[in-house]
Structure 1
C-alpha cells in the first residue's frame, strides 16, 4: 500500500481500469440486479460492465451508470453458450483487470476494491477470489476459505467451490497467457474449473477472506439431469489435463462424479466399473456412498442431487 492508503500497482495506475463481463440469455430481472451491483462498486477506479447476450435480442437495461462507470451491450460472437459469452466479453474488454459475474449472482460493494488491493500486494498472483454466500429457498450459508491462496495442487485435489466463477478477478496478462474459456468442452460443463486449472498453472489465486459475492442457490442447474454430458465432459477434462492424475484423491473425486452420472443415467454396469476404480484410488471418497443407492435403484440421481444442494453442496 502507499502512504495514502491506495493500492500500489507498481508501474500501473493506482486504480487500474476493470472490465466486468456478465454473460446472459434471457433473465432481465436478475440481470438488472447483477449489473446494478457492478455499477455500485465503491472501487475508485474506472469500471466497465460488458453485458453479453447469447444469440438473443439485446435488451438495454433501465440503468443510469454513475461517473466512472460505463455499460455496454454486445452479442455473443463465439459459440452459443456460457463459455462463448465469457470469451466474447473478454474480447471486448478494455480493462487491465477482467472479472466475471453470472447474471443470477451479485456483488457486495467492496468486492472490487478489496481484490484489486490484494492483487497489487501480490504481483505473483494470477487472479483473486473471495468468500461467497449461498442464498436461495431454504438456504443461507457462507462459504469462505481459511487460506491466503489456492495453487494448482489444491485445484488438482479438489474443485474448491469457494473459488466461484462470479468471484474471479483476473489480470489481463493472465488471460492472454492461459487462453480463453474452452468452448470445445462438451456442453460447457465444468468450464470454470477447466479454466481455473490453467490459471493456477500460471500463478496462485489469492483469496480475500471476506464474503463479497452472493450466489443464487436455487436448487437447480442447467446441467440438472444431463448425465451423459457430465460423463463426456469429465472424461474430456481428464484427457486434457494429465496433471489431474497426480492426485489419487482428486482422481477418485472425478471418477466418482463419472460413476454418479452413469448411475443416474441408468448405465449401471459402467457405473459399477467406475466405482471399482474409485475404490482402488480412494476408499474414503464420499461419492462411493452416494452413488451406490442410485446404482441399486433405491434413489434417483435427481433426488440425491437435490438433497446435496439443500446443504449447499454438489455431487
Structure 2
C-alpha cells in the first residue's frame, strides 16, 4: 500500500511494479473517507477481492486522519493507494480528487461504509463494453442491509425512454427505493468524469445532481446489471450524510435542479424525499407550503398526493414496519 499526499504524484517503485505486472489498469476504484478507519478497511478489502484484477483502489482521506492512515497501512497490497488531503473538502471534492489521480480507463465509486460482491466490476465492465452508448453509466441492484432484514433494491429497473428524474423520484407504488441508483454502484468512464465532474458545492444529493446533469449529454445513457452487486449498510451508529434530516436543504436543492427534472419528478421528490424529513421532526408549518410547492412547480399525480398525506399522518416507524412486512411477503 502507498501513502501519499495529493502533491506526491510521482509513481513509487511499488506502483511501477504493479503497472509492469498488469501492463494496464482498467478500473480505478475511488473511495472517499474520513474518521472511519475500520469501516473503510472493510470496503477496501471487498474492492481488492474483485474477480477483475487489473484495478487500483484509491482511498481519498478527506482531511488529516492519522488513525485511518495507520489502519490502511496494515493492508499489504500494491494495488492500494491512500491519498491524505491537507484539509476537508467534502465528498464530491474528494471523489473528484480521486478521479484526477486515477490511472484507469474506468472509474468505480465506493462509499466507505458499503461493500461489493466479488464479480461487481467484471459484470459492469462487460455491460459497458456491450453498450450502444458512447459513454454508458453502469449501475446495478444492491442489497440493502437494515435492522429489519435484507432487501434487494431497486425493486424495478428504468423503462425504455423513461426520464431518469422520474425513475429516481416519481414512485408508481408505495414502496421505498422503487427506483434508485446508489453511488457505490456507479461505474463510468474517466473521460466522462473529466468532462463532467461532480458539483462540489453540494454536500447531499450530489450523486443525483451529477446523474441528472450527465445523462442530459449526447451519447450518455444508464445501463444496469440486473443482479445485486453491492451491499448498502443501514447500521445503527453509522452516520451517513444521506441520512441527515434537513428538509430545507433538500427543498433548496430541488429548486436549484428544477431544470434537470420533469414536473412529475419535482412533485415526487417533494412527496417522498422532502416530506418524510419535515414530518419526522414535526414541522407541521411546512404542510401547506410544501403541498403548494408540489402543485405550483410540479405535476402531482393521485399517488403523489396519497404518499404526501401518508408521510404526514403516519409515523415513520409504522411506515417502515408496514413496508418491511409487505416487502417480505412479496419476496416469498
- Is the alpha carbon distance of 1:30 and 1:204 closer, same or farther for their aligned partners in structure 2, counting shifts above 3 Å? same
Structure 1 Cα separation of the partners of residues 323 and 280 of structure 2: 16
Structure 1 equivalent of residue 43 of structure 2: 34
Structure 1 equivalent of residue 194 of structure 2: 176
Structure 2 equivalent of residue 96 of structure 1: 105
Structure 2 equivalent of residue 270 of structure 1: 286
Structure 1 Cα separation of the partners of residues 189 and 155 of structure 2: 21
Choose the corresponding residue for 2:184, options 160, 166, 184.
166
Structure 2 equivalent of residue 8 of structure 1: none
- Is the alpha carbon distance of 1:133 and 1:261 closer, same or farther for their aligned partners in structure 2, counting shifts above 3 Å? closer
Choose the corresponding residue for 2:150, options 117, 128, 140.
140
Number of aligned positions between the proteins = 285
Cα deviations by residue, 1:194-234 (Å, 9 ceiling, x for unpaired) = 1111232231111111211111122675358744x332233
8 Å Cα contact 2:41/2:71 also seen in 1: no
Which stretch of structure 1 is more off in the superposition, 197-206 or 111-120?
A: 197-206
Structure 1 equivalent of residue 18 of structure 2: none
Question: How far did 1:156 drift?
Answer: 3.7
**TM-score normalized by structure 2?**
0.74
Structure 2 Cα separation of the partners of residues 241 and 26 of structure 1: 34
Choose the corresponding residue for 1:214, options 221, 231, 256.
231
Show structure 1 runs of 5+ residues with no match.
Answer: 1-12
Over aligned residue pairs, what C-alpha RMSD do you find?
3.2
Structure 2 Cα separation of the partners of residues 261 and 77 of structure 1: 34
Question: How far did 1:81 drift?
Answer: 2.6
Question: How far did 1:192 drift?
Answer: 1.3
Cα deviations by residue, 1:244-275 (Å, 9 ceiling, x for unpaired) = 1x232x11112223344334444422322212
Choose the corresponding residue for 2:58, options 34, 50, 66.
50
8 Å Cα contact 2:25/2:55 also seen in 1: no
Structure 2 Cα separation of the partners of residues 90 and 195 of structure 1: 14
3-state secondary structure, aligned to 1:204: strand
8 Å Cα contact 2:155/2:179 also seen in 1: no
Question: How far did 1:90 drift?
Answer: 1.4
Structure 2 equivalent of residue 258 of structure 1: 274
